[in-house]
Structure 1
Amino acid sequence: MSNPSSACGPKESGPIVATTPLVKFLERVQETALQTLGPNGFDPKLYVDLSLKQTLSATVKAFDNLPRNGSGSVSAKELNRFEEEYLGGAEEDLELSSPVDFVPEPEHFLPKVKSSEVRAWALEVHRLWKNLSRKVSGRVFQNPDFHTLLPLEKPVVIPGSRFREVYYWDSYWVIRGLLASKMYETAKGIVHNLISLIDEFGYVLNGARAYYTNRSQPPLLSSMVVDIYKRTRDENFVKKSLPALLKEHAFWNSGIHKVIVEDAHGSIHTLNRYYARWNQPRPESSTIDKETASKLSDKCAKEKLYREIASTAETGWDFSTRWMRNESDLTTLATTSILPVDLNALILKMELDITLLANAIGDSATANSFRETSLARKKAINSIFWNAEKKQWLDYWLTTHPVSSEEVHKWKASSQNKKSYASNFVPLWIDLFHSGLVRSGSKKARLVAQDIAEKWVRTNYVAYKKTGAMHEKYDVQKCGGSGGGGEYKPQTGFGWSNGVVLAFLEEFGWPEGLKFDCL
């Protein structure tokens, strides 16, 4: 799957995972559409989500024969005619699906919610699962080469709007919401689909599209399995899931994601980073990536930037200044040169989860092995990431660039490498902050988490009443304000937002007298 990346030097090179012939062709259609239609309101993802009505060779031939003017552009009329004859719509490879375990009012739904107003709204959010439930069309299974959508066996819950496929870390909060809705079979089906990606590719992809095969996202599959197991006590589900979790752990702890660091005392530690196996514009965001790289004239510098952009997408963080050397310049992204403290904490949790799950099914050898692995990682996190002066665990910045992308790299730790980063205030990925506070074990931190949850639920409610929709992002500075910024127009739907609200209400509830509108 991996090939040498380019003729650029070792500082820019690294492994790549080649995309499919269909994706490459749809990128040509995308470029032509941009020429024809112009950049205003142009969504590059739309074009790489299209499917074929005829064979790729026949479609390419027809496309190459389209009449063009002197500048190489195709008229809007000719482009529309071509698309209607040869290409299927971006949403035609998914069909509406009615979840087998959905009921309008689940038994024992959100027992801690005492407010009738909040309960009524929570049931509205719960009913959105039906709107977001899909199954992959039989056409995708019959002719997978005609589609960029990957064939997944079980029904899925999509985020919504332009996101017409399953995404990895979105699925964690979707599952948390489904568990609150007592939809255990749907939650298990999502895990089944993610495991099928591990079986085929060796890791969970960023999303279920052919153009996402070059990167993953924050590893949360073990958390999904543990959460489902704690609700259902289904040992067969654990037995089916555990081999995939071992494969995912091996993926993150080998090759380009693995970094060996020597601490100030000479002890050697193994830690991890994000590193996409890609060095071109992302097909789903190509126009944006090319515009970002247009400041650079050197081909190898552009390839390096494209790798950093894709690696930043692998983090799930969007484009936070956390990953930049210069906070005002996106071309200074340096994600592959950072050991993120949260990624390593997630992998520590994965190791603890595997220990728990292995014990649950009587696999003491695996449990003991991963208990030892988790202890080593905990020691590494405290040694490399802890900053005594700030009393925080901070990201660790590698001081130089890797010599060879396929090697395991060894670095010396120094206090200067532990960087803090500016807060990126709007929009907020609320789950990052809330989860850390809840799991800290501190009563004070849990109270802060509850306060955050109340404010978050309130702003979702007010925005919903104003717009009639759940949103992807929210403005944390304005109660009821949806978030802006980023690479694309903020979306509605919205799978993970629904899950977060239901999970928060299940965990903390809502007392009868607590104000629900903006304070």
Structure 2
Amino acid sequence: MNLNLRSDSPASIIYCEGKLLHAVMMLHLYLDSKTFVDKPLKKSPKEVAEAFEKKFPDDIKYGDREAVRAFLDENFEKVGQELSECKLPDWQPRPPKLLAIRNRHLRKFALDINRIWSRLCRKMKKEVEEFSDRRSLIYVPNHFVVPGGRFREFYYWDTYWIIKGLLASGLYETTRAMLGNFKHMIDEFGFVPNGGRIYYKRRSQPPFFIPMVLEYYKATKDKEFLASFLPTMQKEFDFWQERRSINITVKKKEYEFFHYRADSNAPRPESYREDLYTMLIAKPPSSRVLWRDIASAAESGWDFSSRWFADHKRLTTIQTTKIVPVDLNAILCGNMEILAYLYNEVGNKEMHRHFRQMYDDFVRKFKEVFYDADEGAWYDFNRDTGFLNDAAFPSMAVPLFTMCYDRLDTEMGANVLSTLKRRGLLQFPAGVPTSVKKGTSQQWDYPNGWAPINHMLIEGLRKTGIPELQQTALNLATRWISRNYHVFMAENIMWEKYDVSKQYIRKARGGEYENQEGFGWTNGVVLDLLVTYAKQLDVEPSSFHNNTFIFDDYDEYEFDGGHSTAHFTFIPIMIATIIVALQNTIHF
């Protein structure tokens, strides 16, 4: 089978494809598929691949499990060896913006989070640059802040909210260093990969590099920095125009928009076993199409959600490339306006006019295609049906966040708020879930709330300038901050995601891995909201009803109705599948 995942790195024969990768994943040597593909090599990839073929010339059987494990111990280092913890050169224990938070409990909470930045700082060891072919890590020159947990490297869209938090903490030098890393990658690859590993180089993530630069520029007014970055920003924007654009026809009129379309038709190396399992269950006409849609959902950042499923429930019906997402197009619309503004800041009137016209034209056609006047909101467009999808997600509010609408039309914001309420997205006590769809077992569905989604919704409502919408934004910020605060008080942990559905605290579940602690973008969103609402937010420790985690009160309809590759549902079935599958060749 001719699969497309190889990067231009020599290490791709180990980490992205081949007999060794397939054997390790099918023998289930690690609980998390990501563990193997993050392990550095002790020798060159060519030497290791040849040694493996020499030691295992025949088809590998389940009985070879311990021999393969021994081979890995002999030829691979432990995970995380190529990164060192680092000191943030600009860190300060009491940043002025955080000291301005009025509520003393929230002020202490902010200072506690500020200390977490130092624990998440990483810098690449010298050997990463010298022996780049011996690892999956993509070399970058500067230190950076990681999300945390299993996410040992940097990630694209996470970094926008991390930077929002770093700026709240006064970490301008670190922010500039991280932007420099992204510039380094764009100049080398032409785009920002999903994350800092070679196996992420066939896909990107939501395009937030341009907004990141805007945030830094707003904080520093450094025009020399801006002028040096604008060509790189233009290059990344061109990538989305050239590699992720698509033509659609609506009411006999042709439009060009954007969608997620990963340049891969193979199992994701970091979730290799899970993707093979999904293919076995789905039995699709084309495994290549299925795997491309899976990788494209990962490119969206929403991996996974009923938003991408044809039947709105099962991962096996995924059709990401058939969806033209409202939020992706709104983000790129916002990027057009940002580029127009920033080109004007450096005195380039021609490029300012170019992007201003592009933005104005895009706002018009964006409304024509994505806005449902009867519903009063923006929805994803489905290329398969030729109509808007009617399922409600908080992504419908992203155009408010990026301001991809006619600001003279004050009714649009009010209509979106009304729709969010009517569709049930704003009824929950601890924030906004990523959907109201129950029973999918996916982490980007009910009952999980995520920091970036809540932040974009809150900020989108706030930026309308309409008092009713701004009050709703404050109410939502209060709910989100309260849940984060009380969980932190109970566990001293900031999580990747939260169950927002109950008044009491319940641990978030779903997806391909357990909930991760750290956590970069969660910290960033909390700090940004605490600074934005420094004089308005209140919380009292005694106001919470129950600080005990409830682990076992999910009913079947609520959570377990769909196919999930999470460890707690995946492993028993997968082991049985592997034993049967390994009676045959490990080759495709």
After TM superposition, give the deviation of residue 511 of structure 1 in Å.
5.2
Report what 1:408 is aligned to: none
SS of match in other structure, 2:281: coil
SS of match in other structure, 1:474: strand
Among 36, 49, 52, the alignment partner of 2:41 is: 52
| CA distance 1:148–1:427, change in 2 (3 Å) | same
Among 359, 363, 376, the alignment partner of 1:391 is: 376
For 1:311, the aligned partner's letter is S
- Preserved CA contact (<8 Å) 1:459 1:518: no
SS of match in other structure, 1:109: helix
- Preserved CA contact (<8 Å) 1:385 1:418: no
Alignment of 1:188-207 (within 5 A): 188-207=176-195
Matched, 1:261 2:253: no
| CA distance 1:484–1:71, change in 2 (3 Å) | same
Report what 2:233 is aligned to: 245
- Preserved CA contact (<8 Å) 2:205 2:301: yes
For 1:283, the aligned partner's letter is P
Report what 1:379 is aligned to: 364
Alignment of 1:49-448 (within 5 A): 49-66=38-55, 72-73=61-62, 78-106=67-95, 108-255=96-243, 257-264=244-251, 267-297=253-283, 301-399=286-384, 416-421=387-392, 423=436, 424-432=445-453, 433-448=457-472
Report what 2:553 is aligned to: none
- Preserved CA contact (<8 Å) 1:154 1:192: yes
- Preserved CA contact (<8 Å) 1:461 1:480: no
Q: TM-score, normalised by structure 1?
A: 0.88
Equivalenced residues, count:
488
The CA RMSD over aligned residues, in Å, is 2.4
Q: Distance in 2 between the 1:295 and 1:332 partners?
A: 10
Report what 2:520 is aligned to: 495
Matched, 1:452 2:479: no
After TM superposition, give the deviation of residue 188 of structure 1 in Å.
1.1
User: CA deviation digits over 1:445-497, x for unaligned, max 9?
Assistant: 22222212111111112212222211111101135434210111111111111
Matched, 1:32 2:23: yes
Structure 1 residue runs of 5 or longer lacking an equivalent are: 8-14, 401-413
After TM superposition, give the deviation of residue 68 of structure 1 in Å.
9.6
Q: Distance in 2 between the 1:203 and 1:102 partners?
A: 30
- Sequence identity, in percent? 32
For 2:324, the aligned partner's letter is L
Q: Distance in 2 between the 1:72 and 1:262 partners?
A: 51
- Preserved CA contact (<8 Å) 1:386 1:392: yes
Report what 1:411 is aligned to: none
After TM superposition, give the deviation of residue 73 of structure 1 in Å.
3.8
User: CA deviation digits over 1:367-422, x for unaligned, max 9?
Assistant: 1100000011101111111111111111111137xxxxxxxxxxxxx6x3443346
After TM superposition, give the deviation of residue 513 of structure 1 in Å.
5.8
For 2:43, the aligned partner's letter is Q
Q: Distance in 2 between the 1:201 and 1:434 partners?
A: 34
Report what 2:544 is aligned to: 518
User: CA deviation digits over 1:334-362, x for unaligned, max 9?
Assistant: 11111111111100110011011111111
| CA distance 1:322–1:47, change in 2 (3 Å) | same
Q: Distance in 1 between the 2:349 and 2:166 partners?
A: 31
Q: Distance in 2 between the 1:230 and 1:291 partners?
A: 47
Q: TM-score, normalised by structure 2?
A: 0.78
After TM superposition, give the deviation of residue 65 of structure 1 in Å.
4.2
For 2:203, the aligned partner's letter is R
Q: Distance in 1 between the 2:60 and 2:339 partners?
A: 58
| CA distance 1:451–1:54, change in 2 (3 Å) | same
After TM superposition, give the deviation of residue 198 of structure 1 in Å.
1.0
Q: Distance in 1 between the 2:163 and 2:197 partners?
A: 20
- Preserved CA contact (<8 Å) 1:133 1:157: yes
| CA distance 1:357–1:85, change in 2 (3 Å) | same
For 1:467, the aligned partner's letter is E
| CA distance 1:496–1:223, change in 2 (3 Å) | same
Q: Distance in 2 between the 1:435 and 1:335 partners?
A: 27
Matched, 1:461 2:489: no
After TM superposition, give the deviation of residue 157 of structure 1 in Å.
0.5
Structure 2 residue runs of 5 or longer lacking an equivalent are: 393-434, 437-444, 546-588
